[in-house]
Amino acid sequence: MASELELAAARRLLAAAGSLVVLTGAGISAESGIPTFRGPGGLWRNFRPEALATPEAFARDPLTVWEWYLWRRGLIDAAEPNAGHRALVTLEQRYERFTLITQNVDGLHDRAGSRRILKVHGDLWHTRCTGCAYQRKDRALAYPALPPPCPECGAPLRPGVVWFGESLPRIVWAEAERAVAQADLLLVVGTSAQVYPAAGLIDLARCAIEVNPAATPFSSRVAVALAGGAGEILPALV
């Protein structure tokens, strides 16, 4: 667990920074009870998520893919933002120049009150068409038919997330790279720092603080590495 000396050092860096970027991963959501992407999960224990989260899987069996995503929506809908999410809202209010970059698709940052968010892996509460430009915010937990048809062209709708084999949204990714490169400080929260290209953002930072229960490949390279969960460490920082 992070020591008081380490926390004090991190607080000094936060106080001295004129601009802040936060990068979050699955760890902060796990503290709200959201299973990590590769974690075990009841109904889907016989399915590999990696085999469902691909364009090829959707083309082959859109019904099963949509059932899995609706199951995930149900889990997330029953969860609540935790103290770590709320602490990041407090930090956002303190900095005129602030950006929250998240790898998570669950929308818990939005529900906590964060506003300046870049979602590099998309949004589970967003639906888009496979045949035309139609897209919408979508909090449905069930549909009359699966896959749901596009109201504009009739083609199947799909979850608005980035699947394996797909590129990250170009404009969002460019904004994320620019934000990290220009910020005084990067706060990395709840990520193993092993999923690229998102983990590559850490290399762009002038100075970084890490918050994670376990050491990562970047722990020895950041200014301060705080061992612990986001729900405990972030409130202690703010």
Catalytic residues: 121
Q: Does residue 131 share a domain with residue 115?
A: no
Spatial distance between the Cα atoms of 13 and 147, rounded to a whole number of angstroms: 49
Q: Does residue 44 share a domain with residue 63?
A: yes
Q: Does residue 90 share a domain with residue 73?
A: no
Q: Does residue 138 share a domain with residue 70?
A: yes
Residue closest to 91 by CA, chosen among 209, 4, 220: 209
Q: What residue numbers bound the domain in which 63 lies? A: 37-78+123-161
Q: Does residue 85 share a domain with residue 43?
A: no
Q: Does residue 27 share a domain with residue 107?
A: yes
Q: Does residue 143 share a domain with residue 73?
A: yes
Q: Does residue 238 share a domain with residue 141?
A: no
What residues of the chain score a pLDDT lower than 70? 36-47
Number of domains in the chain: 2
End-to-end CA distance of the chain: 17
Q: Does residue 86 share a domain with residue 74?
A: no
* Helix/strand number for the chain, H first, E second: 9, 9
Write down the pLDDT at residue 46.
60
Residue closest to 68 by CA, chosen among 89, 91, 45, 92: 45
Write down the pLDDT at residue 120.
97
Write down the pLDDT at residue 37.
60
Check if the beta carbon of residue 28 is closer than 8 Å to that of residue 230.
Answer: yes
Q: Does residue 26 share a domain with residue 46?
A: no
Q: Does residue 29 share a domain with residue 94?
A: yes
Q: Provide the H-helix boundaries in 162-229.
A: 170-182
Residue closest to 63 by CA, chosen among 151, 150, 186, 157: 157
